[in-house]
Structure 1
Amino acid sequence: MRTGIATVCLSGTLKEKMQACAIAGFDGIEIFEQDLVTSPLSPEDIRKMAADLGLGLDLYQPFRDFDGVTPDLLKANLKRAEAKFKLMARLGMDTILVCSNVATATIDDDQLRAEQLALLAALAGDHGVKVAYEALAWGKHVNDYEHAYRLVEAVDHPNLGTCLDSFHILSRDWDTAPIEDINADKIFFVQVADAPKLSMDVLSWSRHYRVFPGEGQFELAKFMGHVVRAGYTGPVSLEVFNDVFRQSDVERTAVDAMRSLIWLEEQSAKWLAGTSAETAAAGTSEQKAAGRRRYPMELATLPKVNEPAGFNFAEVKADDTAQLEKLLGQLGFEFEGRHRTKDVQLWTMGQARVIINEQAALHTEPAIAALGFDVDSPVIASARAQQLKAPVVSRKVQADEEVFQGISAPDSTEIFLCQGSPDGTAAWTQEFGEGLEHPRAAQTAVIDHVNLAQPWQHFDEAVLFYTSALALEPQPFAEVPSPSGLVRSQVMQASNGAVRLVLNLAPVQQASAPKTYQEHIAFAVDDLVATARSARERGLEFLQIPANYYEDLDARFDLEPGFLATLKELNLLYDRDANGEFLHFYTATVGSVFFEMVERRGNYDGYGAPNAPVRHAVQYDSLHRA
């Protein structure tokens, strides 16, 4: 699949954008007119630079408000078009995007539109230019891709074809199956963008909230599957208008964009394989042949990996570890000792493992630094992540020590892919020396979920990263009120709930520097009340929950008085749904880290979302009283 990206997706100058696209590995680019107009580079300079970088110049865009106009305006539009065609010759470009009219169309007549487009096609032919006509979702009279293609067919000129844009099609919920009926020779260009499902006018949605594939909720694999079946072989190019992307580091955004196309290519191949298998299974000889059909556009796939089987460990880095050690001990964790060659501690409770890392941690406040996940094959999972442009993380090891496959997440959290074991043990724990001499607690625990706060400019990137590299599924996002404003929360989860990552969009005032915002690790136990009582006996200071919360809790759930009194006594929070119950409590924050202990009863699958505003408010008050 030939990959492309529109320069409008990125921050910086045209020169910086082109360099970033080449570094990210794109085959070509679309030049957005404003980027050219504001550039000090001449068209000839840009043409040479593209050649030197190995970038194709695939599309010049946009040419607006051409069709459905009065004769005088048509004359002016043709003059404007000819100037652009001459400019394109200097750039060495041969395809221009023409959008359906949104502003100046005063005549709603398809015959007139076809006649005017025929004049444009003839003029383009004189200059060796192809015109890709696109139906904008908010076009005044043409807003449907099938309508745009009917006009292309009516004109029947070799220099006029259509552009298929996933946003303009999927935002209007148009059926994508008819794409397969379009003559592939008449599909001059394909643009893709994802987006969250929002209730707002399409123009504002398009201009501010598009995201890269895999970061939204559109069925892009299905869209691309129909494009491939139509026989299209040209560029698949990103056209994403997003306020955040246009303020973020240009090279990083370009890499994220490339990752999204690699992921989309794989997902489209899966969709095609799945639907082809269904067609072949239908039974007739023609259907079986259709199921085995090969298409002109070949889609590459990645090494296949299953979702993680669970958390292997969580790591907190700190200079002064005394408060962390005290807190873990109060929760009931056992100190297993120090690593034999590294300045690292291991603490465990059942199968929940926490590493305290003191290496290169001078003046570092406690913060979540790394997560380990159990996977079927760490080497294959790492190879997949690297093909998805994930930066590699390596750690020094001795000859007889476990070698972890590591990659870096968008927020700089290090992700280690570990060899899982059926009994939940980890061989690397044998590298730690003797711990404290005391009787082992019978408490069982696992890491239930980890909450990671994401810098505002990398939130969507993180969703795609965990989707594509770790095969986690994004759940519907939520917004949680806090004293600092609404906190956007996105759960990334394995299908069986064995791995749960909660990505929170960090408030801007807390995200100016990495790892200065609050995050937490949650541990699931069998009996939270007993765990809380034991922790209190060890001197744990719980996050203090207001009495008003328990009055409201009683009103909502009509709890048994003794149980309610226990919740209040131990500062426990409670939630219930049709599937079960959820009990949890929080510790105070150390550095930017706090811990949560939870108990899931029945088939409760949430996170106590109604209690999140309470936690935010108490932590806010505690921070401002400190």
Structure 2
Amino acid sequence: MRTSIATVCLSGSLEEKMSACARAGFDGIEVFEPDLVASDLTPEEIRARAERLGLSLDLYQPFRDFEGVTEELLEANLRRAEARFRVMNRLGIDTILVCSNVATATIDSDEVSAAQLRRLGDLAADYGVRVAFEALAWGRYVNDYRRAWRIVQLADHPHIGTCLDSFHILSRGHDPAGIEEIDGEKIFFLQLADAPELSMDVLSWSRHHRLFPGEGEFDLAAFLAHVLRTGYDGAVSLEVFNDTFRQTASGTTAVQAHRSLYTLADETARRFLDAAPSSSVAPVQAPAGIDFVEVQAEDTRDVEEALEQLGFVFRGQHRTKPVRLWSAGGARIVLNEQYARGDEPHLSGLGLLYADVERAERRISDLDVPRMPRPMQAGEQRLPAFATPHGPQLFLASAPANGAEPGWVGEFEHGYAPDAPSHLGAFDHVNLVSSWETHDETVHFYGSVLGFEKGSVNQVASPHGLVRSRVLRTHDGTVRLPFNVLPAVHEEKTEHVALVSDNVMAVAHQARNRGMRFLPVPANYYDDVRARFDLDDRYVDLLRSHQVLYDRDEFGEFLHFYTRRIGGVFFEVVQRIGGYDGYGADNAPVRLAAQSRLDGARRQG
């Protein structure tokens, strides 16, 4: 598969974009005309630079508002096109993107449009150029790829073909299955973009909110399969207009974009083409569970106190590092004071268990995810570590058989073995934070690279604005990772670890007896819960006395409480009753407001 990307996807100068694309591994680029116009390099210098970088120049774009016009305007458009063809010859580009007319079309006739494209084809032939005609989703008359293809057929010219763009097709809800009726040799170019589900005009949606494959809601694997079944063998290119990508470093965005194409090719081949992908990326494998959560700080004593109050057991000090292990049930929390001078407690690592850790490691490496150095000494278990877009490191470990503890636990000494049954079990979920700049890449990383399923996007009110939240989880729900995108004015980046309990009241009672001060829940909340769920007064009083929150849906009930924030981390204990599968979303504003009040009191005090 030949990969390409439009320079409009990236920030920086044309020269910077070209270098970033080459480093990321792209085979070619689409030259976006405004990037060329703003460059101080001549077309010949750009061509030479591309050759040095090993990049092909695949497409010149866009050429707008050509067809469906009066004869007088057509003559002007042909003169305009000829000037572009001369520049293309200097660049060494043989294909131009012609978008369906938006502004100047006055003749709604396929025959007229085809005749005018045929004249453009005659001119293009003189310069050795091909014309890829594309139906814009907001085209004045031509806004459907099937109509664009009919016009190309009517034009019946060897230098006139079509360009297929996933956004223009899928954003309008057009059935992409009809692509298979197109002659693959007449598909001159293919552009891909994903997008979130939004209710807005399609032009604004397109210009500001496109995403790379795997980050949005379009089924691009099915779309690409339709195209490949035509026999199309040209470049698979990205054209993504996105305000965030045009503000972030071009090198980072280019790597993210290239990775998205390879995961898409992998998914397409395996789901639809019954074949191993040409990219030879190792197959995706969802994790079997959470191995451990790592909290890092210069001083972790306050975290240790909270864990002990919750019922965790100290399992020992690592024999070679300033790292300690605590566990309860199947939950293991590593406290790391190494390389943390001046740091408050924060979530710094997440360990995932895999049935085949070597295959998981190979896939992540194949997709160019950066490895993180992890010093080891003789006798220590190897835990491959990788960078994540949102910050904490990702560790991979083999899932032990029969519920046994992983081998690395034996590296911790002078601790205690659990001596009594615990009301705490494994991790229910780990709630993480991603910035607005990295959120889309994070969704792609956990979804397409690691095999998590993407939940719907929810918004929760906080005192500082709306918090956008999305859950990424394995199909069986064994691993759940809600991700929050905080408001721009939010002052605290806080993440939390949620623990499963079979008796949340007992855990809360024991924690209080050990001196824990819970996150305070206002009395108004319990009055509201009583009214909303018609709960017995004595039961509400029990909830209130333990600062436990409550939720219920048609499948079951949900009980949970929160510890106070310790630096940038806190803990939650949850009990799911029946088939409840949510996270108490209606209680999140109460939690956020309570934390904000404590933060304000701490600053004033």
- Check whether TM > 0.5: yes
**Identity rate of aligned residues, in percent?**
54
CA displacement at 1:441 relative to structure 2: 5.2
CA displacement at 1:168 relative to structure 2: 0.3
1:396-425 Cα deviation digits (max 9, x unpaired)? 111211100111110121001111023332
Alignment of 1:574-589 (within 5 A): 574-589=550-565
Matching of residue 318 in structure 1 with residue 297 in structure 2:
yes
Query: Secondary structure at 1:40's aligned position in 2?
Result: coil
Conserved 8 A contact 1:382-1:407: no
CA displacement at 1:231 relative to structure 2: 0.4
Unaligned stretches of 5+ residues in structure 1? 275-293
Conserved 8 A contact 2:312-2:326: yes
Q: Relative to 1, partners in 2 of residues 1:544 and 1:22: Cα closer, same or farther, differing over 3 Å?
A: same
Q: 2:586 aligns with which of 610, 623, 626?
A: 610
Conserved 8 A contact 2:466-2:486: no
Q: Which amino acid in structure 2 is aligned with residue 184 of structure 1?
A: G
Q: Counterparts of 2:210 and 2:280 in 1: how far apart (Å)?
A: 25
CA displacement at 1:543 relative to structure 2: 0.4
Once superposed, what is the RMSD of the aligned Cα atoms? 1.4
1:592 is matched with which residue? Answer: 568
442-451 or 229-238, larger mean C-alpha shift: 442-451
Q: Counterparts of 1:71 and 1:98 in 2: how far apart (Å)?
A: 18
Q: Which amino acid in structure 1 is aligned with residue 474 of structure 2?
A: A
Query: Secondary structure at 1:611's aligned position in 2?
Result: helix
Q: Counterparts of 1:298 and 1:574 in 2: how far apart (Å)?
A: 47
Q: Which amino acid in structure 2 is aligned with residue 520 of structure 1?
A: H
Conserved 8 A contact 1:269-1:300: no
1:418 is matched with which residue? Answer: 397
Q: Which amino acid in structure 2 is aligned with residue 492 of structure 1?
A: L
1:473 is matched with which residue? Answer: 453
Conserved 8 A contact 1:381-1:469: no
Query: Secondary structure at 1:383's aligned position in 2?
Result: helix
1:279 is matched with which residue? Answer: none
Conserved 8 A contact 1:266-1:302: yes
Matching of residue 340 in structure 1 with residue 340 in structure 2:
no
Matching of residue 508 in structure 1 with residue 484 in structure 2:
no
Q: Counterparts of 1:436 and 1:228 in 2: how far apart (Å)?
A: 59
Q: Which amino acid in structure 1 is aligned with residue 298 of structure 2?
A: D
Unaligned stretches of 5+ residues in structure 2? none
Query: Secondary structure at 1:169's aligned position in 2?
Result: helix
Q: Which amino acid in structure 2 is aligned with residue 311 of structure 1?
A: I
CA displacement at 1:440 relative to structure 2: 4.0
1:487-538 Cα deviation digits (max 9, x unpaired)? 1101000111110001111222348xxxx61111111111000000000001
Alignment of 1:262-301 (within 5 A): 262-273=262-273, 299-301=278-280
Q: Relative to 1, partners in 2 of residues 1:492 and 1:547: Cα closer, same or farther, differing over 3 Å?
A: same
CA displacement at 1:562 relative to structure 2: 1.7
Q: Which amino acid in structure 2 is aligned with residue 81 of structure 1?
A: A
Q: Counterparts of 1:586 and 1:187 in 2: how far apart (Å)?
A: 57
1:246 is matched with which residue? Answer: 246
Q: Which amino acid in structure 1 is aligned with residue 331 of structure 2?
A: A
Conserved 8 A contact 1:388-1:468: no
Q: Counterparts of 1:333 and 1:89 in 2: how far apart (Å)?
A: 70
Query: Secondary structure at 1:457's aligned position in 2?
Result: coil
Conserved 8 A contact 1:269-1:301: no
Q: Counterparts of 1:378 and 1:405 in 2: how far apart (Å)?
A: 9
1:495 is matched with which residue? Answer: 475
Q: Counterparts of 1:378 and 1:75 in 2: how far apart (Å)?
A: 64
2:168 is matched with which residue? Answer: 168
Q: Counterparts of 2:13 and 2:490 in 1: how far apart (Å)?
A: 29
Q: Which amino acid in structure 2 is aligned with residue 380 of structure 1?
A: R
195-204 or 502-511, larger mean C-alpha shift: 502-511
1:391 is matched with which residue? Answer: 370
Q: Counterparts of 1:510 and 1:614 in 2: how far apart (Å)?
A: 16
163-172 or 67-76, larger mean C-alpha shift: 67-76
Conserved 8 A contact 2:433-2:486: yes
1:543 is matched with which residue? Answer: 519
Matching of residue 569 in structure 1 with residue 542 in structure 2:
no
1:289 is matched with which residue? Answer: none
1:61-115 Cα deviation digits (max 9, x unpaired)? 0000001111221111111100000000110100000000001101112211111
CA displacement at 1:610 relative to structure 2: 0.6
CA displacement at 1:271 relative to structure 2: 2.5
Conserved 8 A contact 1:382-1:406: no
1:41 is matched with which residue? Answer: 41
2:114 is matched with which residue? Answer: 114
Q: Counterparts of 1:269 and 1:533 in 2: how far apart (Å)?
A: 54
Matching of residue 351 in structure 1 with residue 330 in structure 2:
yes
Conserved 8 A contact 2:315-2:414: yes
Q: 1:456 aligns with which of 427, 436, 455?
A: 436
CA displacement at 1:360 relative to structure 2: 0.6
Conserved 8 A contact 2:221-2:268: yes
Q: Relative to 1, partners in 2 of residues 1:184 and 1:298: Cα closer, same or farther, differing over 3 Å?
A: farther
1:223-253 Cα deviation digits (max 9, x unpaired)? 1001010000000100000111110111001
Conserved 8 A contact 2:315-2:416: yes
Q: Counterparts of 1:145 and 1:550 in 2: how far apart (Å)?
A: 56
2:210 is matched with which residue? Answer: 210
1:370 is matched with which residue? Answer: 349
Query: Secondary structure at 1:245's aligned position in 2?
Result: coil
Conserved 8 A contact 2:311-2:422: no
CA displacement at 1:304 relative to structure 2: 2.0
Q: Counterparts of 1:306 and 1:43 in 2: how far apart (Å)?
A: 46
2:535 is matched with which residue? Answer: 559
Query: Secondary structure at 2:212's aligned position in 1?
Result: coil
Q: Which amino acid in structure 2 is aligned with residue 374 of structure 1?
A: L
Q: Which amino acid in structure 2 is aligned with residue 564 of structure 1?
A: V
Query: Secondary structure at 2:437's aligned position in 1?
Result: helix
Q: Which amino acid in structure 2 is aligned with residue 404 of structure 1?
A: L
CA displacement at 1:467 relative to structure 2: 1.0
Q: Which amino acid in structure 2 is aligned with residue 517 of structure 1?
A: K
Query: Secondary structure at 1:545's aligned position in 2?
Result: coil
Q: 1:519 aligns with which of 495, 515, 534?
A: 495
Q: Which amino acid in structure 1 is aligned with residue 483 of structure 2?
A: L
Conserved 8 A contact 2:62-2:97: yes
Query: Secondary structure at 1:392's aligned position in 2?
Result: coil
CA displacement at 1:144 relative to structure 2: 0.5
How many aligned positions are there? 601
1:7 is matched with which residue? Answer: 7
Q: Which amino acid in structure 1 is aligned with residue 300 of structure 2?
A: T
In the superposition, the TM-score normalised over structure 1's length comes to: 0.94
CA displacement at 1:429 relative to structure 2: 0.6
Query: Secondary structure at 1:247's aligned position in 2?
Result: coil
1:221 is matched with which residue? Answer: 221
Conserved 8 A contact 1:265-1:301: no
CA displacement at 1:36 relative to structure 2: 0.6
1:561-582 Cα deviation digits (max 9, x unpaired)? 2211111111111111111111
